[in-house]
A and B are shown apart, each in its own frame.
Chain A
Amino acid sequence: MIRQINRVTAGLIFLLIALIINISYIQVFQAKSLRSQGGNQRGLLAEYTRQRGPILVGSQSLAESVATKDSLTYLRKYAQGTDFAAVTGYYSLVYGATGIEARENDVLAGNDSRFFVDRLQQLIANRKPKGGAVRLTLNAAAQTAAMNGLAGRTGAVVAINASTGEILALASSPSFDPNLLSSHDPASIKKTYDALTADPKEPMLNRPLALTLPPGSTFKLITAAAALESGKYTMNSVIPAPASIPLPGSNKTLGNWNHKSCGPGDKTTLKHALAISCNTAFALLGMKLGEQALYDESKKFGFESSFDTPLISATSHFPTGLDQAQIAMSAIGQFDVRATTLQMALVAAGIANDGIVMKPYLVSQVMAPNLTVLQNSVPQAFGRVMTTDNAQALQKMMVDVVNTGTGSNGRISGVVVGGKTGTAENSPGEAAHAWFVAFAQTANGPIAVAVMLQHGGGATEVSGNGLAAPIANAVLRAAMKQ
């Protein structure tokens, strides 16, 4: 009997050891994947008990955590939430975080490895851990001007400091109130979220970064840049510009919006062709330059790249494998050319910055919980798109667009403003997208802006000027005041 008792005891001890081994496996090896399981509230709850750091613009805070009496300890509050939602995103108990809240979560939640020393001090002093702060490059006045301009319409605005790449405005309309998604009431969060996702106007879509659309005539800037860079053209080169041209390989024709030729003898200068946005001139120019030249030039401006601002932008595309007719259409920003609003702002910025595109960015400073600066962002070049001379020539051409051409609404008295209008044709029956890209030379360097109005106006070329240019104008004025 003794032997059996010993065996039973060994068996029971074995079972207990099996428990210990299994628990070791769960708590050590499986722990990481279990912690990151969607639906595991614990990480989020731990974050809520810490005071999350603010998102700042200048000295003003866009998002901050305020103490509450409920179990989640801190409530995220967004001042002017709707105006800045495309940048801040939301911080939701139910749906996680988006925007800067998501991309800079390590800093805001205080998990960033750069906080090591700070965390150590907190531990020793037995202070409650806090998150760090993020300061944005945005210009609050420019952002507000952009949102006011877009009010009631569907569209996007991006403004950039062309010499640094700092994003001054990143606006999307219609927008949403992140406060409603960041409350502590799951039922109301779900209700709001469901209503927002069901809205056909897609208020939670980040239009300036996520939406790619045909850029229409604003793409003529790239075609012009490619022409200047080829060395075969100057802004005064005379190029053919008839009222309409046959599209090779089809029985269709491409005409100008007013059904007239762009100059006497069906010819005009490159400069004038841009000023009046002559379709036939740029289509013929594109076919002469060829697919490769247009593709290469667009790529230099940032097409085929995704930008990490740290909000990730969608990639703009110039199509490849084109026939002559498709090249003609692509050269004027139609066919399968697709660009984000950010990308078109970078086109204006590259030209205005004498040929160098700067990497766009949104975060200017990362600060520790005690608000000492841990990191200042340093401007970085994305690349040279054209020579300084060619860039300055193109700047003059854009100024002509505003002063004598289609972009008259871009004018600001006493300031050199260059621009380019665009109307992107859609499938028949759908309203076209209205575009306006522009730059203004200011005392602090050039500022570039792109305005996109989705299905924004009529089918005429002036709509870019009529609808989008006034918004660009207001944003530039606001940005210049500082």
Chain B
Amino acid sequence: MTMVSTPAWGDAQVSALDDDEVRRIRNDFPVLEQEINGKPLVYLDSGATSQNPRSVLEAEQEFYEQRNSAVHRGAHHLAVEATDAFEDARATVARFVGVQDDELIWTANATAGLNLLAYSFSNASVGRADGEAGRFALKPGDEVLVTEMEHHANLIPWQELCRRTGASLRYIPLDDAGALRLEEAARLMSARTRILAFTHTSNVLGNVNPVGVLVALAREVGALVVLDACQSAPHLPLDFKALDVDFAVFSGHKMLGPTGIGAVYGRSELLNAMPPFLTGGSMITTVTMEEAQYLPAPQRFEAGTQPISQAVALAAAANYLSETGMHRIALREAELGQRLVTGLSAIEGVRVLGPGPGEERTGLAAFDVAGVHAHDVGQYLDELGIAVRVGHHCAQPLHRRLGLSASTRASTYLYTTFEEVDLLVEAVAQIRPYFGVTAGATS
């Protein structure tokens, strides 16, 4: 069996979730019970958004029915209960990713988290660099380093930050198989590099990037490290402290939680030195007509009414994942990923992007069907009740690098069965014949 190893949990002596457990897990997800076009739903789009177990749905409903109130203001009973629920949720989710409570900031999603960081650094660069904030200021000559495999959410905020500050954006290129060219990473990293932002696991390739190697390179030159954990937080046991990154972001809806909530992790001393991004109520100590003093993190970055019920529900999701066991989920998904890549690669005219069979891969696989556009592939699969993602998956530069404009992605989660993967593989094998594509045709 293929090992999925990360430094944080490589020594864990646990087994993958087995088929019986997965069947029981499925009973917790009401949405999976339905039929599409008269066929059982085969949901292979968890990389886009995951489904919610009853415990998450009930947590949100229970909050609204029993404790709904504004938090961090008001002295009445409900306000206290709501504040406790909100902060307990923060503690639960912080523990889930191995950080302190005051190092976790709620955001709308991972995209909002990355923009929060970029705009805070931007503010530090334009006159808000008083005191310690100066260390985040960018100027012409400075560089921000990303990779060629980034989701647009971890690319465009940095492009825009560079445009506003005059800094330059560089990227670590990929080899033809889609892996980071680490020798280029070492070459590109210099004293000019102020920020290194990269994804933990690609939403298209399904690879796991070598966080330790990249962090070590960044440390040598004193660059801040931002980890996009949007695709790893739901699927791998994570400990941001052990990974030694400065910042990380993730989204609730990809990890069994509701939409509208995500989080930023930042090392405490960094968060408290950064200028705020969104300003307004709930994030201040003293306000005069001329200026304001700000609360320490996390409130410093949480202006306005927060996603309270979503936080409570996300904590329920983190609990569900922890109780199931993130190591066991990761091992199960590694098996699903191998089944996907092995099955799909064996079909004539199908090219799976990223790591090949036997190589480390998460539980997703994006692929190209020669001669059939991804949208037609997705339509064919939908007819069979199989839900996949088609298009560029918010990673246009990556697709361009691989010579494609679009691909089809099947992404699994803890509720995915081997039978579902097999149904997908069998269906994909029928697609080129259905569309009358002859052997040897290319897309």
Do A and B truly interact? no
